[in-house]
Structure 1
Amino acid sequence: MVTHLVFDGVADGPLGVALDIVGAAARVMRAGLVALPKGRPPPRQRIVSVDGEPVRTSAGRTLAVDGALSLRGLGAGDVLVLPGLGMATAPEISAALERPDVVRGVELVARAAAKGVLVAASCSATFVLAAARVLEGRRATTTWWLGPVFAQRFPRVSLCSDRMVVESGGVFTAGSAFAHADLMLAILAHTVSPSVAHMVARYLVLDERASQARYMVLGHLRGADPVIRQLESFVTSNLGRQVTIHEMARATATSPRTLARRVAKGLSITPQRFAQRLRIAQAVHLLETTQHPVDEVSARVGYADPAAFRRIFRRETGETPRARRTRSSVREAEARRGLREG
């Protein structure tokens, strides 16, 4: 049983996508489109709130539920998943975690995990899992713009904020809102079959992504700290070469230790990783807007070793440089065809 636990403010889109994904998995299995062990039943699902009452979604709609969350009968093999709660700022997170319904939800999540239920959440709902202490000592991810807030609030969780989905000790977390699709596919692969998850992704035309890094809007992250803005300016002015931590510190009038602390606080990464992301962002731009060979793009963004560039590009974007260029070309061709047909 897949149980979707919703609260007031639940994001409409991710919940709908999750319902579609589980429903598609059930149809794929009933149709016999994937070879599975005989007798394995298709997944079932329901939507619950902590008290069984309807909730108001982030779009202001009233969402009826199938009942209240009851832990009776739930155990190993069952899934409790929390879609994002539409919380975009630190004050909204703090206020939500003090709401009586969320406090009750935190307690129920902790008890469900203790019973062996697979618990999962995406976007801001990952804060509910962390508050339930089911992530302590484990790796997790959250939506990229709340990474620094999460890391400060839950220091005993090893945050991997550039990952789309993280599984650690049987607990699943995912990044921003529509990473909920990636979360549900990962849960299907874990609880049913990777083949079912892959078939559902194909039928629903969901790309299988490993990283949030290519979606990170660095301007959103860097805005609060002038030192990070100075660092960005220095690195982007020197994209054609590698810069050392000492050069970055001099350019920002800080010591290497102070710079590392400021960047960690603002971005939850190191200055060197920030510089890499700026170079990779420029590489993406060159791949999408020019026909320069990949090795030339590598050199233009400061990587003398093309193999190292490809490795770092894949880590930061979840795909190879060639795949990125191909995907961009396909999108552009489809857009042109749409204009002609329109």
Structure 2
Amino acid sequence: MTGSVTQLVFDGVADGPVGVALDILGAATRIVHAGLVELPKSRLPTCTRIVSIDGAPVRTAANRTLTVDGALELRGLGSGDVLVLPGLGMPTAPEIAAALERPDIARATELVARAAARGVRVAASCSATFVLATAGVLDGREATTTWWLGPTFAQRFPRVTLRTDQMVVTSGRVLTAGSAFAHADLMLALLAQTLSPSLAHRVAQYLVLDERASQARYMVMEHLRSADPVIRALERFIGSNLERQLTVPQMARATATSPRTLARKLEKALGTTPLRFAQRLRIAQAVHLLETTRRSVDEIAAQVGYADAAAFRRIFRRETGEAPHARRARSADARKR
């Protein structure tokens, strides 16, 4: 990274990611200047800027005024520069759909596409990944987005291979990251790729940032619910039968639907299948028991419907990104702080 780092912000931008990006770049500069990581100072970014489409201040998600350094100008941007889009601060699919119709964001998609065509490295986190996808720079590539918007993203952009289990996905000169505070992971990934993995690691230590490869551990407990009464009924039915291995026909009968209708509703609302939904609810209960009881992993496995404890451990790791004992230890450490 021998050029500039430009953050493009819009009205509604999430407040935290903009600041954390500046903190990470500032810490990297201080660490290099202090000689803690061997790196030619000439390789550091020549400047870091915050811009809007028209150069006017924007209102953040917290309704604060964010002044900017000017308007986005492609003139002078090239392969040594990075254009970063922090999250839009819009957590729901209807809000994002409306945002993508706004004149400022429509203009941004054009400029992002042109920047990428000029060789500029482009990156986005959270809902701003929708801007990159709309610009076409993710077509034929792998990408991630904030995990609860995964089904919406996949439906809207079928030419993108979505990896919502990953915190950061790099595909060529395009980087995407998950939910809002994955912006920190995005900036660390940019440091690692363009400057030095050692520098990224030292910055993470310096700022006490958790270096996370996966969003999976955050996907279990939240956003499983839906406004659809069928899915709420299904959740209640599964919750009352966690110790049983339920079939799709049983779940359909319990919700007064056909297996096909139930599968379609779950795919549309949550981007998952009935069996995977049941599995996530069982793992969510296992997480709760690990964090609130002293029962053994084998006992918890049996309580949430897994007769084979080894299979439970494999599924738990796949769904949460960590082993059951690691989850329990992490929870215990958090309570001590």
TM-score, L = length of structure 1:
0.89
Q: CA deviation at 1:220?
A: 4.2
1:42 to 44, 54, 61: 44
The verdict on how the C-alpha distance between 1:201 and 1:286 changes in structure 2, with shifts beyond 3 A counting, is same
Output one character per residue of 1:143-178: Cα deviation in whole Å (capped at 9) or x when no partner.
233333323322332333343222234322222211
**Residues 46-101 of structure 1, C-alpha deviations (whole Å, 9 max, x = no match):** 11112222222222222222222222232223221101112133332232212221
**Residue matched to 1:166:** 169
The within-5 A match list for 1:1-342 is 1-36=4-39, 38=40, 41-43=43-45, 44-216=47-219, 220-334=223-337
TM-superposed CA distance for 1:13, in Å, is 0.9
1:338 matched residue in structure 2: none
- Where does structure 1 lack aligned partners over 5 or more consecutive residues? 335-342
Counterpart CA distance in 2 for 1:318 and 1:95 is: 33
- Structure 1: how far apart are the matches of 2:135 and 2:49? 22
User: Is the contact between residue 209 and residue 318 of structure 1 (CA under 8 Å) also seen in structure 2?
Assistant: no
Q: State the shift of 1:264 in Å.
A: 0.9
CA RMSD of aligned residues (A): 2.2
Rounded Cα–Cα distance in structure 2 between residues aligned with 1:314 and 1:200 = 28
Superposition deviation, residue 235 in structure 1: 2.0
Q: Is the 8 A contact 2:78 2:118 kept in 1?
A: yes
In structure 2, do the counterparts of structure 1 residues 333 and 97 end up closer, same or farther at CA, with 3 Å as the change threshold? Answer: same
One-letter identity of the residue aligned with 2:262: L
CA contact (8 A) 2:165 2:216 kept: yes
Which consecutive residues of structure 2, in runs of 5 or more, have no partner in the other structure? none
**1:161 aligned partner, one-letter code:** T
Shift of the 319–246 alpha-carbon distance from structure 1 to 2, 3 Å rule, reads same
Of stretches 185-194 and 138-147 in structure 1, the one that deviates more from structure 2 is: 138-147
Contact 2:125/2:180 (<8 A) preserved: yes
Q: Note if contact 1:53-1:68 (Cα within 8 Å) is conserved in structure 2.
A: yes
Question: What do the CA deviations read for 1:233-270 (whole angstroms, capped 9, x no partner)?
Answer: 22222222332333333333333333222111010122
Instruction: Specify the SS of the correspondent of 1:3.
Output: strand
Give the Å deviation of 1:217: 7.3
Q: CA deviation at 1:40?
A: 5.7
Distance 1:167 1:244, change over 3 A: farther
- The answer on whether the counterparts of 1:148 and 1:265 sit within 8 Å (CA) in structure 2 is yes
Taking a change above 3 Å as real, the CA distance of residues 137 and 250 of structure 1, as seen in their structure-2 partners, is farther
Q: Which moved more, 1:243-252 or 1:319-328?
A: 243-252
Indicate conservation of the 8 Å contact 1:221/1:266, yes or no: no
How many residues align? The count is 333
Amino acid in the other structure paired with 1:111:
R
Distance in 2 of aligned mates of 1:168 and 1:312 = 28
Measure how far apart 1:24 and its partner are: 1.1
- Determine if contact 1:30/1:42 at 8 Å carries over to the other structure: no
SS at 1:121's partner residue? strand
Does the 8 A contact of 2:79 with 2:119 survive in 1?
A: yes
| 3-state secondary structure, aligned to 1:222 | coil
1:108-133 Cα distance to aligned partner (Å, 9 max, x none): 11111112222111122111111111
Rate the CA distance shift 1:313–1:185 in 2: closer, same or farther, 3 A. Answer: farther
Distance in 1 between residues matched to 2:275 and 2:310, nearest whole Å: 18
Distance in 1 of aligned mates of 2:270 and 2:182: 20
SS of residue paired to 1:178: helix
Amino acid at match of 1:231: L
Task: Verify the 8 A CA contact 2:221 2:284 in the aligned structure 1.
Answer: no
Q: Distance in 2 between matches of 1:18 and 1:129?
A: 19
Matches of 2:198 and 2:299, distance apart in 1: 38
Is the CA contact 2:151–2:268 (under 8 Å) kept in the aligned structure 1?
yes
CA distance 1:245–1:2, shift in 2 (3 Å): same
**Superposition deviation, residue 19 in structure 1:** 0.9
